[in-house]
Amino acid sequence: MEWSIQEVARKAGTTSRTLRHYGERGLLEPSRIGANGYRYYDQDALVRLQRILLLRELGLSLPAIAEVLAGQRDTAAALRTHLALLEQERELLGRRIASVRTTLDRTEKGEELMADEVFDGFDHTVHEKEVTERWGRGAYEKGDRWWRGLGEEERKAFLGEQKGIARDFARALADGLAAGDDAVQEIARRQVVWLSATTVPTKEYVIGLGRMYVDDPRFAAHYDQHGEGTAVLVRDALEIYAERNL
């Protein structure tokens, strides 16, 4: 069973031009090209396209998607990973919607707001298991104590600083600066200083975290929303900074 490029584009809600572009980038090769020059795609190609579209929706750049696909040869395992991420996003979105509805309802009724209800779905503890598995229980508990000790304005300032760093990385990318450029390395230094608020940023930690910024769709989306390819620049810049300074 196979489908023409026009059929695949229509069913996937994209364009033939986009599919050809994916092919040029080595992301999605047609299963065969007919004598008339038309491209045809089989079932395996459709599954691969689904993975590409899912990763795009999560905010990954095309270079980042290429790295993910190259590192995930097991299609079923990759799909399970995507499914888990989507379900997590759905759960968080559902909690946030409910939180906003509760806030709106209480506000319209003139009732007192409860902090736990207002911020449900925005809780950093959703990453507890992941942080514990990656860096140990002590790392999570230290960061958790630090975060809970901050006031509301301090939390906003801390998160705002990270957003500024991400935007500066994106500007550097747009300006064509390389990861080892002095200006980019200064942004990397700010990133490491920001990380030091909750942990001791060792060489291995910073390099590993930088790679996670690309490998994990959630983190890649955070950076690439400011400019496609930003997460890759962050990863490379942090690795260079760590090798030189840590």
Report, at the CATH architecture level, how domain 133-245 is classified.
Answer: Orthogonal Bundle (1.10)
Which pLDDT value is given to residue 4? 92
CATH 1.10.1660.10 spans which residues of the chain? 2-71
- Given its phi and psi angles, is residue 118 left (phi above 0), alpha (psi -120 to 50 degrees) or beta? alpha
Q: What pLDDT is stored for residue 201 in this prediction?
A: 79
CATH code of the domain occupying 2-71: 1.10.1660.10
Terminal alpha carbon distance of the chain: 54
pLDDT at 122: 43
CA distances from 12 to 48, 50, 66, 111, 169 (A): 12, 8, 19, 46, 33
> In sequence order, what are the residues at sequence separation of 6 or more whose Cβ sits closer than 8 angstroms to the Cβ of residue 208?
134
* Sequence ranges of the chain with CATH classification 1.10.490.50: 133-245
Q: CA 234 from chain center: how many Å?
A: 12
At CB < 8 A and 24+ separation, what contacts does 72-79 make? 75/44, 75/47, 75/48, 75/51, 78/51, 79/47, 79/50, 79/51
Per-residue pLDDT in tens (0 to 9) along the chain, 246 residues: 889 999 998 888 888 888 999 999 899 999 999 888 889 999 888 988 888 887 776 666 788 788 777 765 566 666 676 666 667 667 666 766 766 676 677 677 776 544 444 444 444 444 555 555 554 555 555 555 665 666 777 777 777 888 888 889 999 998 899 999 999 999 999 998 888 876 777 888 888 888 888 877 767 777 877 778 888 999 999 999 999 998
User: Residue 36 has what pLDDT?
Assistant: 84
The residue among 34, 88, 73, 25 whose CA lies nearest residue 217 is 88
Residue 161, pLDDT score: 85
Token pair for 51: 């993975």
Question: Which pLDDT score is estimated for 234?
Answer: 92
DSSP 3-state assignment of 199? coil
Q: Which pair of structure tokens corresponds to residue 102? A: 């509760």
Give the distance from CA 174 to its chain's centroid: 19
Beta strands, E only, the chain: 2-4, 32-33, 39-42
Residue 209: other Cβ atoms inside 10 A: 21
